[in-house]
Amino acid sequence: MSKKLKVATVSLAGCFGCHMSFLDIDERILELIERVEFDRSPLTDIKTCGPCDIGLVEGGVCNSENVHVLREFRDHCRTLVAVGACAITGGLPALRNPLDVADILEEVYHSRPGLAKGAMIPNDPELPLPLNQVHPIHEVVKIDYFLPGCPPPADAFWKLLTDLLAGRTPSLRHGLIQYD
């Protein structure tokens, strides 16, 4: 038995729906765990990413923290995969792009009715700042493969991972490429 491959996963500006779809591989996860070891992932709760073979990134880039996490993944993962519509195109969070983020902050935290008196736009340095626009992840780092779908079907995850484990270039056949 060869050494287990290391896999990390993360959700940036996404809804974790892609992760849920990944878990829909059901009992095949037992077969998978024989051959891979999970590093940073919501499944392990490990907070930082170590050297990995495969990184799966769900969600687009909407704030500075997303940029840092994405770069961490790029630095540590030999193969980085954009998973799902938000990672590939910006997706639902990118619907804010036609609006000015300054107007959004102003309305949500300052001028909207029903706010506490003296409410201010949060400015704690702990908080990541939102980017002017939401971006697909390939605009920020180099991405090796794209797994389309909202979410990608479980079988597509399975095909991608088994191809990578077998050393094949991942290729999704007709029924596995879907956009909604």
User: Strand order in 145-147's β-sheet?
Assistant: 36-38, 5-11, 52-58, 77-83, 145-147
- C-beta of 95 vs 99, nearer to other proteins: 99
Yes or no: say if 84 and 147 are a contact pair by the CB < 8 Å rule: yes
Residue 163, amino acid = D
**Tokens matching residue 123:** 């400015």
- C-beta of 49 vs 161, nearer to other proteins: 49
- C-beta of 6 vs 76, nearer to other proteins: 76
- C-beta of 56 vs 67, nearer to other proteins: 67
Q: Least CB distance from residue 24 to other proteins, whole Å?
A: 27
CA–centroid distance for 180 within its chain: 17
Residues within the interface to other proteins (CB under 8 A): 64, 67, 71, 74-75, 100-102, 105-106, 121-123, 125-126, 128-133, 135, 139-142
Q: Least CB distance from residue 45 to other proteins, whole Å?
A: 24
Q: Least CB distance from residue 50 to other proteins, whole Å?
A: 14
**Tokens matching residue 170:** 């991942």
Q: Least CB distance from residue 11 to other proteins, whole Å?
A: 20
Beta strands in 20-137 (DSSP E): 36-38, 52-58, 61-63, 77-83, 130-135
